[in-house]
Amino acid sequence: MTGLLDGKVAIITGGASGIGRASVERFVAEGAKVVIADIQDELGASIADRLGDAALYVRTDVTDEAAIEALVATTVERFGKLDVMFNNAGAQGDASPITELSAAGFDKTLALLTRSVVLGHKYAARQFQAQGTGGSIVTTASAAGLQGGWSAAGYTIAKHAIVGVVRQAVAELAPLGIRSNAIAPGIIMTEIMARTFGVPLEEADGFSAFLADRLGSTQPLGRVGFPEDIAKAAVFLASDLSDYVTGTVIPVDGGATSITQGTFATEVVAAAQEYNAR
The per-residue DSSP string of 189-241 comes to -SHHHHHHTT--GGGHHHHHHHHHHHHGGGSTTSS-B-HHHHHHHHHHHHSGG
Q: Which of 123, 155, 244, 275 is catalytic?
A: 155
Range 16-28 average pLDDT: 97
Average pLDDT, the chain: 93
Taking alpha carbons only, the member of 184, 7, 154 closest to residue 88 is: 184
pLDDT beyond 90 at 118: yes
Is the pLDDT reported for residue 36 higher than 80? Answer: yes
Domain edges within the chain = 9-188+224-259
CATH classification code of 9-188+224-259: 3.40.50.720
Q: How confident is the model at residue 265 (pLDDT cuts 50, 70, 90)?
A: low
Report field, pTM of the whole predicted structure over 0.85: yes
* Res 264: pLDDT: 67
Q: What is the pLDDT of residues 214-244, one digit of tens each?
A: 888 888 888 889 999 999 999 999 999 999 9
Does the pLDDT of residue 266 top 80, yes or no?
A: no
CA dist., res. 229 & res. 235, Å (int):
10
Bridge-partner residues for 181, per DSSP?
138
Give the residue, 25 or 213, on which the prediction is more confident: 25
Q: How far apart are CA 79 and CA 55, in angstroms?
A: 10
Q: Annotated catalytic, 57? A: no
Is residue 262 predicted with pLDDT exceeding 70?
A: no
Per the CB < 8 A criterion, the answer to whether 268 and 196 are in contact is no
Angle formed at CA 85 by CA 253 and CA 175, multiple of 5 degrees = 100
Q: What is the mean pLDDT of residues 194-221?
A: 81
Helix (H) or strand (E) holding 109: helix 103-110
